[in-house]
Amino acid sequence: MSFETSQDPSIPALQGIRVLDIATFVAAPFCGTILADFGAEVIKVEQPDSGDSLRKFGTPTECGDSLVWLSEARNKEAITLDLRRPEGAEMFRALVTKSDVVLENFRPGTLEKWGLGFEELRQINPGLVMLRISAYGQTGPKRGEPGFARIAHAFSGLSWLSGEADGPPVVPGSTSMADYVSGMWGAIGVLTALRARERNGRGQFIDLGLYESVFRLLDEMAPAYAKYGTVRQRMGADTVNVVPHSHYRTGSGQWVALACTNDKMFERLAGVMEQPRLAADYPTSVVRVAHRDHINGLVAAWMNERSLQDVLAKTQAGGVPCAQIYSIKEIFEDEQFEVRGNLMQIEDPRVGALTLPAPLPRLSETPPTFRHAGRALGADNEAVYRRLLGLSPEDLQAARAARVI
């Protein structure tokens, strides 16, 4: 199969790409969510009876599936298939011959044990692209160890940086961040592999460890240690090479984030604070970092003497990047989120009204679309198996009776 070449902007960007999502939880499935948002035909393959554990993760709803499932399994068809049974493995191979991409996050070696590894599958589909996400990747001494996002945060070095200087390492915002980031890297890998396939006709696999997805985002930590032996420590809300670049409490009790990333920005802030001499006394980032506590103290005192509205008005007028630190309550009330359509209101036949994060990124000609929230377990068995494998109602009933689907 190949990308659509029509210039009709109503045709989704990834229409014509078929994806088999046999993964669980978030990381590899989130890659599928991204692809589905842009029109790929993503078929979610789950274990009969139990299904993906993501269905029970997070806030439960009246339909039995969680809010996380309804959001992150969006736009996917849902089928059941037991890959561990020979009959199920054979049906999966038949699906692979008609597909472009497989997404998986089993422990390395698991699919090979079932006769469904990449080398086996590429024999029946030379153009197959397979995304393989695991805790530590397909190689190395830790390849067989289990892991989740929290473990990836720890092993990648991110958790070490999270928290106050005199406190323990803490969760870096979201316990699932490595999963989502890995799904994004996975989508980049899949799309790159599909582009390469257009030139040479060959598929390939993408090998990604959860920890690698996070480690790649940690700016200069690796070169700084290699060249100077620098081991960055926890700094709370501060930033290693820039001051003031932190969180401050206003006089009315709310918190704001301030980002003075260069000398010009600090000069503007000094003018906003009506203390222009500060820009002359502390003209460079190096000087300001050397006087971190003093600079932070001056900014904190200025913030504490003013209401949130006053702080935001003055910094905005002065061209200084500053924003209130939002909870989800403020996000739902903010006009920017509303105008940009970041919160998508939909009606689901199983649970009624839902508000979900809108898909990203925006494309001017072929934007992402929403078709439905996460489906019930096996909801599309009949449609998918009849369409792709030509199974009759009797075939389907026999497969159900044998617990293959």
Counting every residue written for the chain, the total comes to 405
Element (H or E) spanning 255, and its range? Answer: strand 255-259
Q: Is residue 336 part of a domain?
A: no
Average pLDDT value for the chain:
96
- CA dist list (Å): 17 to 24, 98, 136: 21, 10, 28
Distance between CA atoms of 117 and 253, rounded to whole angstroms? Answer: 56
Same domain? 148 vs 285: no
Same domain? 107 vs 203: yes
Element (H or E) spanning 214, and its range? Answer: helix 210-215
Distance between CA atoms of 34 and 28, rounded to whole angstroms? Answer: 10
How many Å is the Cα radius of gyration of the chain? Answer: 25
Q: Is residue 137 part of a domain?
A: yes
Same domain? 150 vs 293: no
CATH code assigned at 280: 3.30.1540.10
User: What pLDDT shows up at residue 2?
Assistant: 35
Query: Which residue is listed with tokens 């199969």?
Result: 1
End-to-end Cα spacing for the chain: 26
Query: Which residue is listed with tokens 């088999």?
Result: 20
Same domain? 132 vs 206: yes
Chain segment 32-64, per-residue pLDDT in tens: 999 999 999 999 999 999 999 999 999 999 999
Same domain? 24 vs 147: yes
Closest CA relative to residue 380, chosen from 348, 343, 405, 354: 405
Element (H or E) spanning 57, and its range? Answer: none
Q: Is residue 226 part of a domain?
A: no
- Please confirm, yes or no, whether 207 is among the known catalytic residues: no
Which residue segment(s) compose the domain that 142 sits in?
Answer: 18-216+351-401
Percent of the chain with pLDDT over 90: 97
- Please tell me whether residue 207 adopts helix, strand or coil conformation: strand
CATH code assigned at 136: 3.40.50.10540
Q: What is the largest CA-CA distance in the chain?
A: 84
Distance between CA atoms of 143 and 255, rounded to whole angstroms? Answer: 42
- CA dist list (Å): 404 to 5, 290, 401: 38, 66, 8
Check 179, 310, 380, 395 and give the catalytic one. Answer: 179
Same domain? 116 vs 26: yes
Range 178-187 average pLDDT:
98
Q: In this structure, what DSSP letter does residue 55 have?
A: G
Q: Are 405 and 381 in contact (CB under 8 A)?
A: yes
Distance between CA atoms of 229 and 225, rounded to whole angstroms? Answer: 4
Same domain? 33 vs 75: yes
- CB atoms under 10 Å from CB of 193, counted, come to 21
Whether this prediction's pTM lies above 0.85 is answered by yes
Q: Is residue 69 part of a domain?
A: yes
Chain segment 341-384, per-residue pLDDT in tens: 999 999 999 999 999 999 999 999 999 999 999 999 999 999 99
Same domain? 151 vs 70: yes
Q: Is residue 88 part of a domain?
A: yes
User: What pLDDT shows up at residue 5?
Assistant: 38
Chain segment 250-308, per-residue pLDDT in tens: 999 999 999 999 999 999 999 999 999 999 999 999 999 999 999 999 999 999 999 99
Same domain? 54 vs 189: yes
Same domain? 269 vs 389: no
Distance between CA atoms of 90 and 115, rounded to whole angstroms? Answer: 10
Strand partners, 207: 132
Range 22-29 average pLDDT:
97
Q: Is residue 379 part of a domain?
A: yes
- CB atoms under 10 Å from CB of 28, counted, come to 27
Closest CA relative to residue 302, chosen from 243, 248, 240: 248
Domain boundary among 296, 330, 364: 330
- Please tell me whether residue 322 adopts helix, strand or coil conformation: strand
Tally the domains of the chain. Answer: 2
Same domain? 275 vs 364: no
Q: Is residue 234 part of a domain?
A: no
Same domain? 323 vs 358: no
Q: Is residue 232 part of a domain?
A: no
- CA dist list (Å): 195 to 191, 199, 347: 6, 7, 35
Three-state SS across 364-393? CCCCCCCCCCCCCCCCCHHHHHHHHHCCCH
Distance between CA atoms of 373 and 73, rounded to whole angstroms? Answer: 7
